[in-house]
Copies of this chain bind each other. A is one copy, B any other.
Amino acid sequence: MLVRVSSGKTTRSPPIQPNELAAQNVVWSEFRYRAGSEIFGEAEPADYVYQIRQGAVRTYKLLSDGRRQIGAFHLPGDIFGIENDEVHRFTAEAIIATTVWIAKRRSLFGGLGDGDVSATNNVRDLITKNLEHAENHLLLLGRQTALEKVAAFLLEMDGRLEQPEVMGLPMGRRDIADYLGLTLETVSRALSALREESILSFIGQTQREIALHDRSKLAQRATSGLHSR
């Protein structure tokens, strides 16, 4: 069976089961994408679901004049491209060199009507996670300032990359800006401001390696603030 891949280099397919979804006769294949290559496009048929082994992926929507809103970043372990509809509602691109496992979408949905209920519930849980993330993102985009947005972004990545000391961001300033509804200059300025407050510092010379020195102060910046209740 051949799987079409929009671009990027492909490899052969060792059928290994990932840990997340119940492993009910779902066959997974491995594929690789170069940095910047498209994995699937908005409005394309959603025939496959993806789990990241290595790398990072952005999913986004575009306006006709080029304005872009990134809905989410996907990191190793994440599943993306899962849809209830027949088509994708985002474009997905590899941010850096990325390895994914791909499975046929229908194998997860189990025939749509008489399928395995536990699998159906797993799919629903994943969709719900996406919804929850999007809902929190609405509040961020609509009602938070530039500094709050950047601080919240750093905290989110800090929790998800979970590296001991230095977090290595796979994405550039432009991606961060399009995720937060800002320009890359504003993101850069906010990061510089946080650095001047000694809340973080840049490691190395790539500016993508960031060490967080004061997470609680950073959390204050992020939530001038979030409702406790």
Which residues does A use to contact B, with CB under 8 Å?
41-43, 61-65, 67-69, 71, 84-85, 89-90, 112-115, 117-118, 120-121, 123-125, 127-128, 130-132, 134-139, 141-144, 178, 180-181, 223-229
Contact = CB atoms under 8 A, between A and B. Distances in A.
B226 A63 contact: yes
A124 B120 contact: yes
Contact of A65 (B67, B118, B229): B229
A228 B63 CA distance: 9
B142 A131 contact: no
Contacts of A124: 84, 120, 123-124, 127
A142 B89 contact: no
A144 B68 CA distance: 10
Given A61-B138, A120-B121, 12 more contacts: A61-B136, A64-B223, A68-B143, A69-B139, A84-B124, A85-B132, A89-B132, A115-B117, A124-B124, A127-B127, A131-B131, A141-B181
A61 B128 contact: no
> Helix, strand, loop or mixed for chain A's interface?
mixed
Nearest to A126: B84
22 contacts: A41-B229, A42-B229, A63-B225, A64-B223, A64-B224, A64-B228, A69-B142, A69-B143, A71-B138, A90-B135, A112-B121, A113-B117, A113-B118, A117-B120, A120-B120, A124-B127, A127-B127, A131-B134, A134-B134, A141-B141, A141-B181, A142-B180
A138 B139 contact: no
B127 A67 contact: no
A227 B135 contact: no
A224 to B, nearest CB: 6
Contact of A181 (B115, B143, B223, B224): B143
Nearest to A137: B138
